[in-house]
Every structure is written in structure tokens, then in C-alpha cells.
Amino acid sequence: MRPVEMVVFPLLLLFITNIVAYNDINQFNVSFKLGNWTFTLGNATSLSLFIGAIGTMITMTIVAGAKVLESGLSETSIETILKMGIGLTIYSMLVFPVYSMFQSLGTYGNALIIGLTIGYVLGLVLSINRGG
């Protein structure tokens, strides 16, 4: 399987699952608990949350690549951070809304979500152009 297929297949499957699970994509809210704390992200597919996550990744990449007194990351490292950050942000936006549905399937749902995540991350890593 080519890296592009490893990236596109999980995204397509999650996108279709989101459409089937939620006829109106704006009807769900994402929240999770960590001990006594509850974090609510609101609508995980809202445009403002997506733009904010992408903007944060771009800002972190710029800060990581800043050359201060000849220190900083190489161009390849910056490119890798940017591509991985944007790719994982897109994947997260699609997996958060249907994560509880996969969890309700028990062991098979866990295996499916773990397999999709591993395949997506491997495809993303392999698709990064590391010119020589």
C-alpha cells in the first residue's frame, strides 16, 4: 500500500462514519474527563476550532524554526513538524466525534481505531518528502 492510500483510507472511513452517525454534523459536542476535571471542546468540526488548531501548529512551527544565535531546527525538521501537526489536527477533528461510538463496539472498536490511527500516522510519516 502506498503512503497516500494509508493517509486517505482512514480519513475517508472516518468522514463517512461521521456522516452516517450524525446526519447534522453540528449536533454533537466533544468533552472528555480527566480525573475530577471535565474539558469541553464544543463542536469539534466547527471552522473556528479547526482554524485555531491549524494556526497554533503554524505558530509552533515558526517558533521552533526561529534562528537565534545560529540555533534552531533545520528546514527538514520544520517541514516535518508542520506536516505532522496539520495531518494529526485533521485526523483528530474526524476521530473525536465518533470515538465514543468506536468505544461502544468493545474490543473490535478499539482494535479498529488503533489500526486506523497507526495506519494513518505511518502513511503520514512515509509521505513526508525528506529530500536529499
The domain segmentation of the chain, as residue ranges, is 3-22+44-127
Per DSSP (E only), the strands in the chain are 30-34, 37-42
What pLDDT, in 10s, does the model give residues 63-113?
777 766 566 677 777 778 788 888 888 888 788 778 878 888 888 988 988
What pLDDT, in 10s, does the model give residues 70-84?
666 777 777 787 888
Instruction: Determine the average pLDDT of the residues in 50-57.
Output: 74
Task: Indicate left, alpha or beta for 72 from its phi (over 0: left) and psi (-120 to 50: alpha).
Answer: left
What pLDDT, in 10s, does the model give residues 16-48?
887 777 665 555 566 666 778 776 665 555 566
**Gap between the Cα atoms of 8 and 123, Å rounded:** 9
For the entire predicted model, the pTM comes to 0.67
